[in-house]
Structure 1
Amino acid sequence: MPTDLEAKTCQWTNQADALAAFAEFTGKTQSASHIKPLHWYVACRLVVEGGFDPDDIVPRPPFRVQKRSGKAPLLHFDAKLGEGGERTVLGGLKTKNVDVVVTREGIGPVLAVSCKGVTGAFRNLTNRMEETIGECTNLHITYPALVLGYLVLLRANRQVEIALDDGLQAAEELGAAGEGTKTLTANDIAIEEGGDPVKSIVRFHNALRELVGRRGIRDDVSRYEAIGFGLVEMHGEQRSSLFGSFPTEDSPLNLTGFFDTLYARYDERFVVSAPDLSSVTRRHAWNPASPGLQLDGLDYEARLGGTEQ
C-alpha cells in the first residue's frame, strides 16, 4: 500500500497504470484517488514525449534535466523530485485549480490539461457540459494563448445478463465482473448488451465534439484545443484497457491524437509565432542515452534529439 505522501506525490505512471487505477478504485470519488494517476500520467508524458521541463510542470514529475552546452540534454529519473498538487490559474471570472499546468517563466501558463473521471450516473452527463464550457471560457478569457486540453475517462460498465435460475453461475459472473458490480443500476450501464455505448454517452461525446478544435488565439474562447475521450473496460480479460470501438478512429476526441494536438498548438503559438522567445519556449529533445528514458512500461515514443545537439 502506498503511504499518504506517495498517494499525493506525482509518480512515474504510464497509460496502463492510470487506466487500471481508474477501473479498480472502489472508494469514494471525492478523494480523487481514482483520477490522480491520470494527472501523473499526463505530467510524465509532457516531459518524456513533450519535451517540457519538469520544473515547469505542476504536479512536478519525478525527473531531472541535465543541460549541456551544444548537446541535447540528458533526462534523469529521480523519484525524490516528484511533487503533488494543482496550480491555481487566474481566470477571467474566477481563479481555478487546474489539474496539470505547464508555466513558462516570464510568460505564464502556456499549456494545461483538465482531467475528469466518471464512474457512473451516465444519464446525468450532459449536466457536466455547463461546467466544462465554463472552465474553458474562464481560463481563455485571461490567457487566450493558453493551450487547453480536456481529458475524460468513463467506466465501460456492461449490461451483464445473468440467468435467474442458476445462482452459482450468477455468483461467478458477478465475481468476475469485479468490485462494485452488485451496486450498479441502469443509470450506471455504459455498454449495451450488443456492445454499443448507451445513448447518453453518445450524446455526451457529440456535445464535446462541438467544443474542440480551437486553432488560433482569436478563435472562440469556449473551445478546447484538444479533448480526449476514453471508455475503460471493467470486465474480463480486457479489464483496465480502453474500449476499442468508441470513439471511432476518425473522431476528434480519439485519445490517439490528444497529445499531438496539444504539442502542435503549443509550437504554433509559443515557438513558431514568437521566434525571439524560442530560446525560452522551445521544447527539449532528449539525448537518446538519457538514463531517465529507461522506464518500465513506457508506452509512447520519447522526444529525442541528436547526441551532439
Structure 2
Amino acid sequence: MPIEVSDGARVCRWISGHDALEHFASYTGPTQSQQHIKPLHWYVACRLVVEGGFHPDEINPHPPFEVRQRGTERQLIFNPAKATGSEGTILGGLKTKNVDVVVTKHSLGPVMAVSCKGTIGAFRNLTNRMEEAVGDCTNLHITYPAMVCGFLSVIRANRAEEAAVGEIAPEGAPPGRQLQANDIAVQRGGDVVESVIRYHNALRELTGRRGIRDDVSRYEAVSLAMVESNSPTPGRVLPDFPAADSPLRIEQFFQALYLRYDERYVYAAPDLKHVTHRIEWAETSPALVENLSRASRPAFDFVPRLRSP
C-alpha cells in the first residue's frame, strides 16, 4: 500500500526497499510533487548509513539515526527526531542543483550524489529524458570531478493484460490510473516494449565512469529497475530485465558507488582517511538489533556494515 507522504510527513523514514518500491508501484496521486518517489529517496539515504557506513549527519535528507561513540566503537541509534526532508543543494558548473540524496564531508564538500527517477508511464518519451540526466551529471562533475554520482531509474512494469483491467479494487481504494497504450511497458507474452529497451541501451552509455579525468557526462553508477504495478505483486522487481549481464542491474548499484568512493577518497588519499573512511557499526548498535523498543526494524535486503570482532 502507498506510504503516507503528506506535507506533514515528508521527513526521511526508515523503510525497506520493497516498501519504497511498492509505494511507487501503487501510488495514484499527482507526480509533480515527487510523492511517488520520495520513499525511495529515504531508502537510499538510510542504506547509505547502515550498509555504506556514512555518518547520518553527512547525508541530506538526514536519516532517522544518530551516532553514539563508546570507546573505539560507533553505535548506530534509531532516532526519528533527527530526520529531515531536505534535499542537498550542490554548486554545479552551470547552475546550482537540488539532488535527491547527497553525502557531504566536512572540509571536502559533496562526495556522493544520488538521483532517483521514477517513471509511471509515457514510455515512448523515455529517451527524450536522457538529456536531463546527461546535463545534471555534467553540471555536477564540472565543479566536483571526484564526486561519485549515481542515477537510479525505476519504471512501472505496466502489463498489457485484460485481467488487470477487469480486476476489482478493494472497497474504499483510491481510483486507479487509467493506462494508455503509451503506458504499457510489458506486452502480452512478457516481452518488454521497444521504448524501454532503447532507454536501457541509452543508460548503458552513461554508466561506468572510473576516473576523475573520464567523461564528466557519465555517472559512476546507473541502475534501471522495472517494478510490477498492475499485478498481484506490486513492488516486485522484474528478475529478467535488465538481463543478468547488464551493468544496470539494481543489485550492483550501491556496491559500485562504494567502490568508486573508496578508490578516490580513501585509498588515493590515506592522509585524509580519518575524514573519509566509512564507519563500521558496532554489532550491539541499538538500531541493528532485531527488537527495537521504538520502532520495528525494516527487513534488510543488504548486509549492514559491521565492525569485525
TM-score relative to the length of structure 1: 0.92
Query: What secondary structure, in the 3-state scheme, does the structure 1 residue paired with 2:68 have?
Result: strand
Aligned counterpart, 1:263:
258
Q: 274, 278, 284: which one pairs with 1:283? A: 278
**Distance across 2 between alignment mates of 1:305 and 1:77:** 18
The alpha-carbon deviation at position 72 of structure 1 amounts to: 2.6
Q: Supply the AA of the counterpart residue of 2:193.
A: V
2:95 maps to: 94
Greater mean deviation of Cα atoms: 3-12 or 277-286: 3-12
How far, CA to CA, are the matches of 2:123 and 2:5 in structure 1? 33
Equivalent-residue separation in structure 2 for 1:182 and 1:84 (angstroms): 27
Which residue does 1:166 correspond to in 2? none
Q: Answer whether contact 1:174 1:182 (CA < 8 A) is retained.
A: no
Paired residues for 1:139-150 under 5 Å = 139-150=140-151
Correspondence list, 1:99-178, <5 A: 99-161=100-162, 172-173=166-167, 175=169
> Structure 1 residues 173, 5: closer, same or farther in 2, change over 3 A?
closer
How far off is 1:238 after superposition? 2.3
**Cα distance, 1:42 vs structure 2:** 0.2
Matches within 5 A, 1:41-56: 41-56=43-58
Comparing both structures, which one devotes a greater share of its residues to helix?
Answer: 1
The alignment partner of 2:98 has SS state of: strand
Match of 2:231 in 1: 236
Whether the aligned pair in 1 keeps the contact of 2:28 and 2:177 (CA below 8 Å) is no
Please give the per-residue CA displacement for 1:157-212, whole angstroms capped at 9, x wherever unaligned.
Answer: 001136xxxxxxx8743649x96666111100000101011000000000000010
Size of the aligned set, in residue pairs, is 298
User: Residue 58 of structure 1 aligns with which residue?
Assistant: 60
Give 2:300's aligned residue: 298
Q: How many Å separate the matches in 2 of 1:2 and 1:175?
A: 19
Q: In structure 2, the residue corresponding to 1:140 is in which secondary structure?
A: helix
- CA distance in 2 between counterparts of 1:51 and 1:182 reads 39
The alignment partner of 1:75 has SS state of strand
Q: 1:219 to 1:180 in 2, by over 3 A?
A: farther
Which of 86-95 and 237-246 deviates more?
A: 237-246
Q: What amino acid is aligned across from residue 192 of structure 2 in structure 1?
A: P
Opposite residue 16 of structure 2, the aligned amino acid is N
- Unpaired runs of 5+ residues, structure 2, are 290-296
- Kindly, what percent of the aligned residue pairs are identical? 56
Give the 3 Å change call, closer, same or farther, for CA 181–194 of structure 1 in structure 2. farther
Distance verdict in 2 for CA 1:124–1:50, change over 3 Å: same
The answer to whether the 8 A contact 1:72-1:306 is kept is no
Distance 1:143 1:89 in 2: 9
User: CA contact under 8 A between 1:12 and 1:40: conserved in structure 2?
Assistant: yes
Residue matched to 2:22: 20
Equivalent residue in structure 1 for 2:198, among 182, 186, 203: 203
Segments of structure 1 that go 5 or more residues without pairing to the other structure are 163-169
Any idea what the Cα deviations from partners look like across 1:14-61, whole Å, max 9, x if unmatched? 101110110111000001110000000000000000000000000000
Q: 1:20 & 1:7 partners in 2: Cα distance?
A: 18
Deviation, 1:306, is 2.9
Shift of 1:239: 1.8
> Are the aligned partners of 1:49 and 1:301 in contact in 2 as well (CA < 8 Å)?
yes
Deviation string, structure 1 residues 70-89 (Cα, Å, up to 9, x no partner) = x2311111111111111110
